[in-house]
Structure 1
Amino acid sequence: MGKDNRKLSKAEEKRKRLYEEKKKELLAQGYEEKDLTISVLKANVMAFVLGLPIIILLLILFIYKNQSGLYTFSFYGSVVFIVVFAALVVVHELIHGLFWAIYAKHHLKSIEFGFMVSSLTPYCCCKEMLTKYQYIIGGIMPTVILGIIPAIISIFTGSIFWFVMGELMILSGGGDMTILLKLLMYKSNKKEILYMDHPYECGLIVFER
């Protein structure tokens, strides 16, 4: 979800109102707000910057391990690939929600899914405060489960289908890696820090005091 001048959906408007109420409450308690969101455009650009080195490394390992392979895609195989990829894009968001729901006080009731029409981007939003590492785990697991693990397994099995799928899912997780890198680079000397997924933008908000 990006810093774009776009019309919010009804669900986003509702989350925005709830967020503003929570923000007002926290500011009254002495917390300061720090914005760690990024635009959809930056997320897409950084997906290549952060994902490409991983993809190239895994590709080198795949080619080295499977030098004698003949890699082809039939028309049927290509159609299946597109369908599976589209399904995994949705599963990617479900994994975000599943792991954040484990840590959230109200579990799945605190998780919302949606689709941003302007950028054709599905998304997952956690409406509760999380700790730094809870947010990181929920943020990185889709890339690990759908991207890195299948790609590594494919290096040893020689499956070009799942190797390419894994590589694309790593690339798809580049925006997540950008947000998590921004979070890891954020330093604070405050004693109390709360982390909250932004209600309609890409990234999170930090409240500290």
Structure 2
Amino acid sequence: MSKKERKLSKAEEKRKKLYEEKKKQLISEGYQEKNLTIGIIFANIMAFVLGLPIIIPLLILFIHKNQGGLYRFDISGCIMFLITFIALVVVHELIHGLFWAIYAENHLKSIEFGFMVSSLTPYCCCKDMLTKYQYIIGGIMPTVILGIIPAVIAIFTESCFLFTIGEIMILAGGGDMTILLKLLMYKSDKQEVLYMDHPYECGLIVFER
């Protein structure tokens, strides 16, 4: 094992084995593999780079309409915010799984959830091949549903709590946006292109021929 690799869980080892089998089959059929994964630290940095251009305009609109500032954190408010945030982190992954399951060959059976202990990061993994836009839809929907939509609603309802949650969830989706940006920047001149979640890293694998 190289220094950059981490110890995999039993579920990750199982997915890795399944992936290697699919990879062997696809390569035998003339496909080439392209790795579009990213590091966790890079994903966290890019979360701010990509998230801030979204949350800052929303913040300006909210302050202009509300004129009352953001959510004030007293003790009970902090507890409520923390509980809500933890719950939405779980829901975030469930939304990934729900939308990818719609398109996956085996639907919900193709979806696995887990927790990466080394980076304290929950994850959702789709074990089936997807098209480019199917992967994008499943990748962006948690940020839209839990981040952008609540923030926009909060601007009109003047809910400080809802707006703050929405802004935080936009930042929480920054890793997803980073992966999707890398996917959109990748241009292929091949006729057949398949996309698959990496079995244990952050990002995806492209098979093309």
Q: Which TM class, normalised by the smaller chain length?
A: over 0.9
Counterpart residue identity of residue 77, structure 1: G
User: Could you say which residue in structure 2 is the equivalent of 1:31?
Assistant: 31
What is the TM-score when the length of structure 1 is the normalising length?
Answer: 0.96
1:195 touches 1:205 (CA, 8 Å); kept in 2?
yes
> 2:78 corresponds to which residue?
78
Q: Distance in 2 between matches of 1:180 and 1:93?
A: 16
Residue 122 of structure 1 corresponds to: 122
Query: 1:127/1:65 Cα in 2 relative to 1: closer, same or farther (>3 Å)?
Result: same
Gapped regions of structure 1 (runs ≥ 5): none
Distance 1:158 1:42 in 2: 34
Correspondence for 2:143: 143
Q: 1:70 to 1:193 in 2, by over 3 A?
A: closer
Q: CA deviation at 1:170?
A: 0.2
Is this contact kept in 2: 1:47–1:171, CA < 8 A?
A: yes
Aligned-residue identity in percent: 79
TM-score by length of 2: 0.96
What are the superposed Cα offsets for residues 146-196 of structure 1, whole Å, 9 maximum, x if unpaired? 000000000111111010100000000000000001111110110000000
Distance 1:70 1:105, change over 3 A: closer
For structure 2, the 5+ residue unaligned runs are none
**Structure 1 range deviating more: 45-54 or 62-71:** 62-71
Q: Is the 8 A contact 1:4 1:39 kept in 2?
A: no
The correspondence of residues 159-174 of structure 1 with structure 2, limited to 5 A, is 159-174=159-174
Superposition RMSD on alpha carbons, in Å?
1.3
Cα 1:57/1:192, change in 2 over 3 Å: same
2:59 aligns to what?
59
Instruction: Say if 1:143 and 1:170, in contact at 8 Å, map to a contact too.
Output: yes
Q: What residue identity is the alignment partner of 2:147?
A: G
2:95–2:138 Cα contact (<8 Å) kept: yes
Distance (Å, rounded) in 2 between the aligned partners of 1:72 and 1:158: 14
Question: Equivalent residue for 1:188?
Answer: 188
Structure 1 residue 53 displacement after superposition: 1.2
Paired with 1:114 and 1:163, the residues of 2 have a C-alpha distance of: 28
Does the residue aligned with 2:194 lie in a helix, a strand or coil? strand
Superposed CA offset, 1:46-95 (max 9, x none)? 00100011111110010011115685333112101100000000100000
Is the Cα contact below 8 Å between 2:85 and 2:165 reproduced in 1?
A: yes
Aligned residue type for 1:196: M
Q: Secondary structure at the match of 1:33?
A: strand
Please state whether the residue corresponding to 2:89 is helix, strand or coil.
helix
